[in-house]
Structure 1
């Protein structure tokens, strides 16, 4: 089963060799590695071409700079001969043998449509493993896990999974967004007819806080995320089930963002108006309250019922707590 590996490439010259070498040295050899030079101004494009000359499994696409989503979308039409699909960011790298583990499991379990694995968060010379317990979830349970956002939930990152290509055929990333993985993952799980399986293996090394990386931003701007969700709802017009899932992703994301805003008074004063308007709109739609604890379920309901009251109470509680 040929596995397509899509790698967007832009201004990552110091990391690119490590990334590509970790893919091509995998023990699973039946790969199609699509390197997308997204108009990188450094030597990345030439490095990609060098790999293509040396290894017939490598295909290089050169395009004008359009961002991560644009680069991934450019590669997707070139995966038609591959029953499996995955992604790698070009400043990250793989652990040996992870594709063999993933593909072997999918070959032996045709009921599984999406297979996930853990990763290491790498900061300088330190590495922290992020693993899920081994488990198999139905489509509905996988969606619930993804939307719950607990410590053991499924993450949004598309590079931590291998997909059967039929699941994501025709599905693209919204270009220009900083949160492209969130809605793509939601739609992939929603479109899946089979199960999700998690391997308790850290197969991917995720480099955080490199210069210029999105992860250096402390308080994120979620406006793009909500625009992504709204666009995806339009794609599923009339689908009440998808609306509930998508709106759950929206209200859950808003809930966590308001908790961050409460801890950042300066940001709250400048941003709260926009996000409050979103809260009033989102609460009119159906959503699922997947929080496990009773207290969180109550707080979540209070937040949607009266966001201003929730924020006032939370900030007052924080001040009282800090005094003690």
Structure 2
């Protein structure tokens, strides 16, 4: 059963061959490897063409530069002949056998919609394996784990899963948003109908902080993320369950970001925090789910929603005292 592997490609010439070779050398061979040259100014486009000429499983698409989301969206138009789909970033590479393991599980367990696996976090200094315990979750359990935003495994990284194509039907990545994976992975999980299984394996070598990689600024403007979640809510206007989950996701994302923001100097942090007050007001008017299963943490989030200025002022004050010790 054919597996579509979607790889957006842009300015990764030193890493591209390692990435593609790791796909083509997988023991699972029934694949459609979709390489999308996103207007890369280096030799990436030519390298993609070379692979397509050498291996009939490779489809190379060329387009003007539009970002990772637009590259993935173009590839998604070419997956109709593949019952399974996954993603891989072009500066990362696979662990041998992972696709065989994932596809075998989906074939043997038709009640499962997604298979998740861990990864190796690769820096210039060391490799840190993040290998989960094997676990079977219902769709509802996986959704709550996702919107809690606390899991290293059930997270926004779309390349850490194999999906049944039906879970992705009709979905596209939001173009122009740096955090496009957040909503895409959430909607895929929401519209899936089966269980969610976690394999106790590392499947991807994730290259962290490589030279030349796009990195978020120290204080990123995350309002685009919350707009993306808001647009998702509008796509489900009469779905109370989706509203509650999406609002919980947005609330937890913002709570953790403002906790990070509170580590900066009070004038800077306060100036940035004010940008998010209208968003907090909207979040406060909607349902919030207990995704943490921790009464104390839920109380803290509700306090944050009700009194964001006081919460923020107290947190920055405590941080400033601790920094003086």
TM bracket, shorter-chain basis? over 0.9
Q: Which moved more, 1:147-156 or 1:238-247?
A: 147-156
Q: 1:102 maps to which residue?
A: 102
Gap change, CA 1:237 and 1:153, over 3 Å in 2? same
Q: 2:45 maps to which residue?
A: 45
**Counterpart of 2:78 in 1: which secondary structure?**
helix
Matches within 5 A, 1:139-158: 139-151=139-151, 154-158=154-158
CA RMSD of aligned residues (A): 1.4
Q: Which moved more, 1:161-170 or 1:221-230?
A: 221-230
Q: 1:254 maps to which residue?
A: 254
Distance in 2, matches of 1:216 and 1:253, equals 16
Cα shift at 1:151: 4.2
Distance in 1, matches of 2:126 and 2:218, equals 20
Q: Does the CA-based 8 Å contact 1:91-1:207 persist in structure 2?
A: yes
**Counterpart of 2:173 in 1: which secondary structure?**
coil
Distance in 2, matches of 1:153 and 1:205, equals 14
Distance in 2, matches of 1:270 and 1:42, equals 40
- Residues 76-128 of structure 1 deviation map (CA, whole Å, 9 limit, x = unaligned): 01000000000000011001100000001111111100110001111114111
Cα shift at 1:153: 5.4
Gap change, CA 1:195 and 1:289, over 3 Å in 2? same
User: Which ranges of structure 1 fall in alignment gaps of 5 or more residues?
Assistant: none
Q: Does the CA-based 8 Å contact 1:209-1:216 persist in structure 2?
A: no
**Counterpart of 2:16 in 1: which secondary structure?**
helix
Q: Which moved more, 1:196-205 or 1:273-282?
A: 273-282
**Counterpart of 1:177 in 2: which secondary structure?**
coil
Matches within 5 A, 1:21-170: 21-151=21-151, 154-170=154-170
Q: Does the CA-based 8 Å contact 2:3-2:82 persist in structure 1?
A: yes
Q: Does the CA-based 8 Å contact 2:147-2:246 persist in structure 1?
A: no
What is the TM-score with the length of structure 1 in the denominator?
Answer: 0.96
Distance in 1, matches of 2:153 and 2:289, equals 15
User: Which ranges of structure 2 fall in alignment gaps of 5 or more residues?
Assistant: none
Gap change, CA 1:26 and 1:190, over 3 Å in 2? same
Q: Does the CA-based 8 Å contact 1:219-1:260 persist in structure 2?
A: no
